[in-house]
Amino acid sequence: MEWSDHGIVLSARKHGETAAILSLLTAEHGRHAGLVRGGAGRRQRGVLQQGNFVAVTWRARLEEHLGAFTVELLHSVGAQWLDDPGRLAALSAATAIVDFAVPEREPDANIYTGLRNLIAALDEDDWGAAYARWEFALLGELGFGLDLSACAATGQVDDLVYVSPKTGRAVSRAAGQAYRDKLLPLPGFLSDGGPETVDQVAAGLRLTGYFLDRHLFAPHRRQLPDARERLASRLARAASRGR
């Protein structure tokens, strides 16, 4: 068995003395793992950093085997943000979430394109909002999308400011007023193009984080990745300072 593809590095963990188990999100073969001989060595460590774009060839005797990768670096990503802990946390959070949540060996062009576009967007000034939108879209791709089209109680399509934590559906200001302490705030930039202020982005991460945990991590008795918690905490502190 053999194929070649492009991929984004999700994780690499040491295996034995010199090898590494590499997990990639590939363009045409989904999330896929394989052995990289020499992957724990100095030359390869820089290639196998989270978020890097690589060209790979995978070979195995049988399709169900782990197999082995040969890897060529196409574009290094994380090094440019070594002095930017926020962007690094976003990159680490995204790759860790995909590594855990995306089914193995199931190609999904939208998920691959979404992660590729997010990595590009981390260079922009509005990277925090781009990250929140990415989590929102990923929930939809994995079958847990939020319905923000109309109020769950009244059907109205404007002044939607809450989300029901039970149904994932939007709730209008008037319908949710009596239950606002039990509802999740809906930042406008996720639904109607509202402002992308730091407090709105922080609210966006609280919203997507709740449903990521509920649908993807808690059922497996796992917590959201540490990098994701660092990112959310950083944005929450920035929002508090801005008030």
Domain coverage including residue 63: 2-76
117 and 218: one domain? yes
For residue 193, is pLDDT > 90? no
pLDDT at residue 78 in the model: 81
| Distance from C-alpha of 208 to C-alpha of 156, rounded to nearest angstrom | 23
In whole numbers, what is the pLDDT of the chain averaged over residues? 94
Helix (H, G, I), strand (E, B) or coil at 229: helix
209 and 125: one domain? yes
Provide the angle, in degrees to the nearest 10, between the axes of the packed helices 198-212 and 226-242.
150
Assigned domain for 176 exists: no
Assigned domain for 158 exists: no
Angle at 233 between CA 232 and CA 239, to 5 degrees: 90
Given a contact cutoff of 8 angstroms between Cβ atoms, the answer to whether 34 and 69 are in contact is yes
Assigned domain for 173 exists: no
For residue 16, is pLDDT > 70? yes
- Of 76, 103, 118, the residue that ends a domain is 76
User: What average pLDDT does the segment 173-187 reach?
Assistant: 96
Q: How many domains does the chain have?
A: 2
- Of 53, 76, 99, the residue that ends a domain is 76
Distance from CA of residue 125 to its chain's centroid? Answer: 18
| Distance from C-alpha of 71 to C-alpha of 68, rounded to nearest angstrom | 10
User: What average pLDDT does the segment 23-47 reach?
Assistant: 93
